Amino acid sequence: MAKIREPEEVSKDTQVQQMLAVARSRGIETAFDRADQMAARCPFGSAGLCCRSCLEGPCRIVPNGSGPRRGVCGSDADTLVARSLLNTMIQGASGHAEHGREVAMALLKTAEGKAPYVIRDVGKLMRVAKGLNLEIEGKSINEVAKAVALTALEDFQKHEGVMNWIEYRGHQKSREIWDKLGITPVNAHLEIAKAVTRNAMGGDADPLNLLLGSVTMGLVDGYSGLHLSSDLQDILFGTPKAVKFNYSLAVLDEKQINIAVHGHIPLLSEKIVEWARTLERKALTVGAEGINIVGVCCTGNELLMRQGVHAASSFSSQELVIVTGALEAMVVDIQCIMPGIQQVAECFHTEIITTMPHVKIPGATHVNFEPEYADDAAREIVERAIRNFAKRDPAKVVIPGGSVEAYAGFSVEQICEVTAKINEDKPLQPLIDAIKDGTIRGVAAVIGCTNPREPQDIGNVTVAKELLKNNVLIVTTGCAAHSLAKYGLMNEDGLEACGDSLKALLRQLGQHAGLSALPPALHMGSCVDNSRPLDLLSAIADELDVPVSSLPAVGSCPETHSPKALTIGTYFMAHGVDVHVGVDPQVSGSNLVARTLTGSREDKEITMDGLFGGKLIVESDPVKAAAILLERIDMKRKALGI
Ligand code: NFS
């Protein structure tokens, strides 16, 4: 019999604990329960030793022991594990590449006057166009936008050369390594197709070559997904600036019509925010006091970064937003959407609305989104939510009390705007000086997910606090950012977690931003915005004329669940940034693969560390993980001579 964890064992968040108890008392099952019912995981799959690539199998190799040592075709454990990892990477890279392509299409249609968006950040449009070496002189805004969109779409079409966004954003010193290894992507779709092909039965059997294929997927993810999406979304919706928002399940409002926007691409949700304002008066006619949009997962991050929309939940507790009984609609686009939300919604009046033709859920309503008809879709969704308000059962409403105030919106542009008040000519210099003199011991990106298998928020918050008290500057994205916001690390109270020198610096910088202090964790956005920490590091590396791999910078994904988090981690490692994961990445079935990733082979020059300067650190204990990250930061400081 599987052990069912008590609410206080599944999350650090007392509101999540409360709502989980409510769900259980009503016989409603959530991901936390299903994670417990799953109990012990399959030992073959957990080690990466199960192969379902063809009909000779499924083949499995017993981890470290008895039984067959090869699959029917002759693949050994190393090949199986490397292929299984590449499969995961393909999933991650495809998700982000598709995100980038959707946004590029929306920009193109906007520029052609076919979609109802406006270009909110013309300055960024021009900077991106220049960065791409496009002609802007004498061109209209829409002509430049069209040229940028077509250049972006080439990254899914071209058959020779290098992806445009790598030419534009890739750090030159990292580029040299990728080019030498022959792993620099040409176009995202081509690389994904090649990866699928090499991974098929009878394809690539060399585990080290397969691992290089995984690094290519990391680069596809990073450049056709992250950088391209962040750049184009900033052009369309504005580059984030410091903004205040509230975090917790308490952001639902009993008196208002509540709509949760969930997923990743902000194209429709931005319009929903607009239409909620337009139709506010209609809400009054059904007895509500207004329309309250709340965010879940990364669509939530996108909206809070640019609009200050309140955030209700990260990934693992998404179903509990519905259990409040006060949600009229949950609108989903792509990725990280649990099909379980529909079962939970059926216990309430909540309407689950899918919006993308390739992401549907049985039982949910589908309102199709196309950029051309974004207004029609957004209007229909808000009107549906207004109608649903009458179906709400007040007896079922339980909204926990107390939300946390937080500051987000720390794009590289926003950070530089603040530091430029100290050094206008060289805005990065104050940060560089602080790193050099040890005021900032290092920089850590605490990123990634929450995972129903793991106690929610504990890993994310513990790693961040351990690093902050050692004067490591934290930047954050994704669901990890949700964790840090909840525990006050995005407001002034969080300064208590910082070491003295970092605290003083954040106070000094805050005054230049019109705040009493910068928050200890700088929220840089959604998971595609993991482009931003890398942009910051690349700019610092350029100033110092060193590779990114020389910087005292690390990444940490303490509560990983998604393939996307692993591809993002690989993209960081490909630039030489060490990456910690707190959840087993399922490669233990091959010593060769595990040691190549973690840099613990004797022939170091062919490990991730040896090739790129950054390695994988697997550690489930967040305190130990932070200690290892500090050691690596100090090692890089020493090598830099600072
Ligand atoms: Ni990132 Fe964002 Fe969250 Fe993980 Fe999912 S929402 S894209 S994958 S779970 S951080």
Q: What is the pTM of this model?
A: 0.97
Ligand 1 atom closest to 480 (CA): 10
Distance CA 580, CA 530 (A): 15
Nearest to 301 by CA among 547, 490, 171: 490
Element (H, E) at 539: helix 531-544
Pocket mutation for ligand 1, best pick of 297, 301, 523 (most atoms within 8 Å of C-beta): 297
pLDDT at 174 > cutoff 70: yes
pLDDT of residue 39: 77
> 82, 210 in Cβ contact below 8 A?
yes
What's the angle, vertex CA 264, arms to CA 258 and CA 265, rounded to 5? Answer: 95
Give the atom of ligand 1 at the shortest distance from the alpha carbon of 298.
2
Closest CA to 298 of 278, 318, 280, 281: 318
Centre of ligand 1 from the C-alpha of residue 453, in Å: 15
Determine how many CB atoms are found less than 10 A away from the CB of residue 188. 28
CA 388 to ligand 1 center in whole angstroms: 29
Question: Longest C-alpha distance within the chain, in Å?
Answer: 72
Of the candidates 624, 478, 458, the one whose C-alpha atom is nearest the C-alpha of residue 632 is: 624
Ligand 1 center to residue 422 CA distance, Å? 35
Q: What spacing in Å lies between the alpha carbon of 603 and ligand 1's midpoint?
A: 35
Q: Whose CA is nearest to atom 6 of ligand 1?
A: 297
CA 465, 468, 472: angle at the middle one, nearest 5? 140
Out of 89, 449, 451, 456, give the residue to mutate to test ligand 1, the one with the largest number of ligand atoms within 8 Å of its CB. 449
Domains of the chain: 7-60 (no CATH), 77-237 (1.20.1270.30), 249-396 (3.40.50.2030), 407-640 (3.40.50.2030)
The β-bridge partners of 525 are: 477
Model confidence pLDDT, tens digit, residues 563-608: 999 999 999 999 999 999 999 999 999 999 999 999 988 888 889 9
> What confidence tens digit (pLDDT) does each residue in 143-156 have?
999 999 999 999 99
Instruction: Inform me whether the pLDDT recorded for 67 exceeds 90.
Output: no
* Residue 340 alpha carbon to ligand 1 centre in Å: 17
Q: What are phi and psi of 473, to 5 degrees?
A: -75, 130
Contacts of 266 (CB under 8 A, 6+ apart): 233, 237, 299, 302, 303, 306
* Predicted local confidence at residue 40, as pLDDT: 82
pLDDT exceeds cutoff 80 at 2: no
Which of 314, 527, 568 for a ligand 1 pocket mutation test, highest count of atoms within 8 Å of Cβ? 527
Question: Which of the listed residues 298, 334, 447 should we mutate to test ligand 1's pocket, taking the one with most ligand atoms within 8 A of CB?
Answer: 298
Closest approach atom of ligand 1 to CA 560: 4
Amino acid 204: pLDDT? 97
Structure confidence at residue 63 as a pLDDT band (50, 70, 90) = confident
Distance 298 CA to ligand 1 centre (A): 6
pLDDT of 138 above 90: yes
Q: Are 132 and 164 in contact (CB under 8 A)?
A: yes
Q: What span, in angstroms and rounded, lies between the C-alpha atoms of 298 and 477?
A: 9
Q: In whole angstroms, what is the distance from residue 319 CA to residue 347 CA?
A: 11
Give the residue, by CA position, lying nearest to ligand 1 atom 4: 449
* Residue of 303, 335, 447 to test ligand 1 pocket, by largest number of atoms within 8 Å of CB: 335
pLDDT of residue 382: 98
Distance 30 CA to ligand 1 centre (A): 18
Q: What percentage of the chain exceeds 70 in pLDDT?
A: 100
Q: Is the pLDDT of residue 491 over 90?
A: yes
Residue 396 has pLDDT above 80, yes or no: yes
Q: Work out the average pLDDT over 533-546.
A: 96
Q: What residue's CA is closest to ligand 1, atom 7? A: 527
Enclosing H/E stretch for 123: helix 122-131
Q: What is the dihedral of CA 535, 541, 544, 546, to 10 degrees?
A: -160
Q: Which two tokens stand for residue 469?
A: 């008290």
Strands 329-332 and 257-263: parallel
Question: According to the model, what pLDDT value does residue 65 have?
Answer: 73
CA distance 34 to 42: 15
Rounded-to-integer distance, Cα 106 and Cα 370, Å: 9
Residues with CB under 6 A from ligand 1: 264, 297-298, 315, 336, 448-449, 478-479, 526-527, 562, 564-565
Give the whole-angstrom CA distance, residue 143 versus residue 125.
Answer: 11
Check if the beta carbon of residue 573 is closer than 8 Å to that of residue 616: yes
Distance (angstroms) between ligand 1 centre and the Cα of 48 equals 22
DSSP sequence for 335-350: SS--THHHHHHTTSSP
Tokens describing residue 577: 């940034």
Average pLDDT over residues 209-229: 98
C-alpha closest to that of 345 among 361, 357, 334: 361
Mean pLDDT of 414-430: 95
- pLDDT of 1 higher than 70: no
Task: Compute the distance from residue 562 Cα to the ligand 1 centre, in Å.
Answer: 7
What is the average per-residue pLDDT within 23-47? 93
- C-alpha–C-alpha distance, residues 188 and 502, integer Å: 40
Rounded mean pLDDT, 237-262:
97
Closest atom of ligand 1 to CA, residue 527: 7
- pLDDT tens track for 81-102: 999 999 999 999 999 999 999 9
pLDDT at 116 over 70: yes
- Taking the C-alpha atoms of residue 16 and residue 316, their distance in angstroms, rounded to an integer, is 10
d(CA 256, CA 210): 52
The number of the ligand 1 atom at minimal distance from the alpha carbon of 336 is 5
pLDDT of 544 above 80 = yes
The residue whose C-alpha atom lies closest to atom 2 belonging to ligand 1 is 298
Residues 83, 210: Cα–Cα separation, whole Å:
7
Coil, helix or strand at residue 615? coil
* Shortest-distance Cα residue to atom 9 of ligand 1: 449
What average pLDDT does the structure give for the chain?
Answer: 96
What is the rounded CA–CA span in Å between residue 630 and residue 554?
A: 9
Determine contact, residues 575/166, Cβ cutoff 8 Å.
Answer: no
Å from CA of 432 to ligand 1 middle: 30
Mean pLDDT throughout 52-75? 90
Question: In 251-399, which ranges are continuous DSSP H helix?
Answer: 266-278, 280-285, 297-307, 318-323, 340-345, 374-388
Binding residues: 42, 50-51, 54, 59, 73, 264, 298, 336, 449, 479, 527
Can you give the pLDDT at residue 600? 84
How far is it, in rounded angstroms, from Cα 369 to Cα 157? 24
Mean pLDDT for the stretch of residues 386-413: 96
The strand pair at 553-557 and 578-581 is best described as parallel
Per-residue pLDDT tens digits for 441-486? 999 999 999 999 999 999 999 999 999 999 999 999 999 999 999 9
| Secondary structure string (H, E, C) spanning 420-455 | CCCCCCCCCHHHHHHHHCCCCCEEEEECCCCCCCCC
**Whose CA is closest to 270, among 381, 169, 354, 165?**
381
